[in-house]
Structure 1
């Protein structure tokens, strides 16, 4: 009886194992078959955002080789944003802000639609003095922000892939550098690969009104909803994603909404943006609303949106004096 029972038990386990194997195989094949095929974007469309289409006017290819940074801040600005660049250098972009943590900043610039030799000369002098400007020969405009963002990704992937993190951040943002560094250290190894965080937008649909600033025609994007993406005001990512997003752009048709476009590239990669929140998700650390300055409120955020250069300088001076007392 014991032998017969043991035989029945072994037969049962063998059958269960075979069923599990077959089910797993079928599910894996089903998932593989259901994954969308990646169709390369036609060359004439991909060339719009391809790095090979444009050339550097100003570059800093040696910057990361000399520093081995923890974080690289990539700041899109225009030729005429001299005050904004100065304000960033004197506030959250200043070198040596956190001891033993190397943080670099770079301003990313295109060219104006109408040539301005005087401003261009001033920019080149700035570049020689500070060594923090990258310029390429695409037309700098709101609708070309997708091109500028892909140039940022390509620069990180080409010249700064050994940095741990990169951050795309607008010049009119208040950045709490100490909080950001502490937050990234707290994420541990899980944030070193396929990681991107910021203010996640997960329920957006295309605007079909042609008078809307964010209008997207059905010809450009036919789906009803966008995949999750991050507000373009500021987001942080592990530097391995720069190369992967650049690769994914070969399969995503260009649209003039850079934050949505990065979300579409992440969707191709199967990477989900991470929410940066505290207190059970009730507080967004990437505050994209325009908040009135209050030191202790700002001390509990990574970013706050919407400051002109004068206001940024003013609040930074007050914030640095005693933010750690909050």
Structure 2
């Protein structure tokens, strides 16, 4: 009798363990369905990090093995080969997130001008100067200006960890950095733009207007607010994409150029009209249109051109603004001071500035004692 009872309890225990195991699998299965959103056949996993924050992560994207079969592939540089191997990859682990930056989806409409600044991890000095000057978060003319830096990762091993730690410390202090775990390089600038636009759709879809630019530009964001407030019948809900307009150009085929695009990347010899990527203004409406169009357009490494491609597919056009000088200011005489603040007081954006020059210029144009002669507006 005791043997029968012992066997019974052993059998019951085994069955219990089996039930617990099946329940665990069921619960895990349910958690997957509750916590993962399927998008474009990729799994998006929301993982909590610290209080009131979250990051979005995806399985590591695999190399396209067939890229090596492209004619002339072996003759291309390593950067171009890497681009072709991974150009299909659009989702990367998010290291630093700002889910509450816009106050939630509903309150995001309270942000009039969102400054989206492309910055490499090593450019700490540039970010610090921008935080104190034109990218300072503030209320101007009754509307809010907010700031976000977007970044990838650099180097490997200990140096990569150090740079990531630097951005993490900045994030704790300023709450202004989005970072993904992809390689920070020129050929990944378009990827950075797409990742930001996806973040915007998720967290800040109703922001009125955006400045999208580099961390080495001088931007008169006060003037930008006033220009945007003066638009007729556009509070950000209609199309706007304006800056230094570039048209009737095509890919540069010289491998010596920074902007080299071989035929293996793009066969067409022409680009649609676009605005120079140093800095341009766009409406929140247009930003989301570009994101939607990007889902069906193969990535091109030149990010500003890619924006033009997305606009063209949507049947929209970029426009020219005389106050945006991504090629720099043309000073009429070599005897004049090219950093005279009177040349910069009325512009919207000029590329490019060193941090010390930028810090000084911002304070000079805001000096109430600055006296300028004839208006140099949109010089």
Q: How far apart, in 1, do the equivalents of 2:95 and 2:368 lie? A: 41
Q: TM-score, normalised by structure 2?
A: 0.68
**Among 174, 177, 185, which residue is 2:221 paired with?**
177
> Is the partner of 2:143 in helix, strand or coil?
coil
- Within-5 A mapping of 1:18-57: 48=87, 51=90, 53-57=91-95
> Is the partner of 2:146 in helix, strand or coil?
strand
Distance 1:103 1:258, change over 3 A: same
Asked whether the equivalents of residues 364 and 370 of structure 2 are also in contact (C-alpha less than 8 Å), the reply is: no
Q: Which structure has the greater CA radius of gyration? A: 2
Distance 1:50 1:64, change over 3 A: farther
Distance 1:199 1:206, change over 3 A: same
> 1:275, CA displacement in angstroms?
1.5
The answer to whether residue 212 in structure 2 is matched with residue 168 in structure 1 is: yes
**Among 279, 286, 289, which residue is 2:324 paired with?**
286
Q: How far apart, in 2, do the equivalents of 1:319 and 1:201 lie? A: 28
Asked whether the equivalents of residues 46 and 253 of structure 1 are also in contact (C-alpha less than 8 Å), the reply is: no
1:299 corresponds in structure 2 to 345
Q: Which has the higher helix share?
A: 1
Which region of structure 1 is more displaced relative to structure 2, 297-306 or 116-125? 116-125
- Within-5 A mapping of 1:233-248: 233-248=278-293
Q: Deviations over 1:234-283 (max 9, x none)?
A: 0111112222212212332222111111111111111100221xxxxxxx
1:125 corresponds in structure 2 to 169
Asked whether the equivalents of residues 111 and 136 of structure 1 are also in contact (C-alpha less than 8 Å), the reply is: yes
Distance 1:49 1:102, change over 3 A: farther
Higher relative contact order (CA 8 A, sep 6+): 1
2:273 corresponds in structure 1 to 228
How many residue pairs align between the two structures? 276
**Among 254, 270, 273, which residue is 2:315 paired with?**
270
Unaligned runs of 5+ in 1: 1-42, 277-283
Q: TM-score, normalised by structure 1?
A: 0.79
Q: How far apart, in 2, do the equivalents of 1:315 and 1:99 lie? A: 21
Asked whether the equivalents of residues 46 and 250 of structure 1 are also in contact (C-alpha less than 8 Å), the reply is: no
The answer to whether residue 298 in structure 2 is matched with residue 260 in structure 1 is: no
The answer to whether residue 361 in structure 2 is matched with residue 312 in structure 1 is: no
> 1:207, CA displacement in angstroms?
1.1
The answer to whether residue 97 in structure 2 is matched with residue 59 in structure 1 is: yes
Q: How far apart, in 1, do the equivalents of 2:168 and 2:295 lie? A: 32
2:231 corresponds in structure 1 to 187
Asked whether the equivalents of residues 92 and 181 of structure 2 are also in contact (C-alpha less than 8 Å), the reply is: yes
1:91 corresponds in structure 2 to 133
> Is the partner of 1:183 in helix, strand or coil?
helix
Q: How far apart, in 1, do the equivalents of 2:369 and 2:216 lie? A: 20
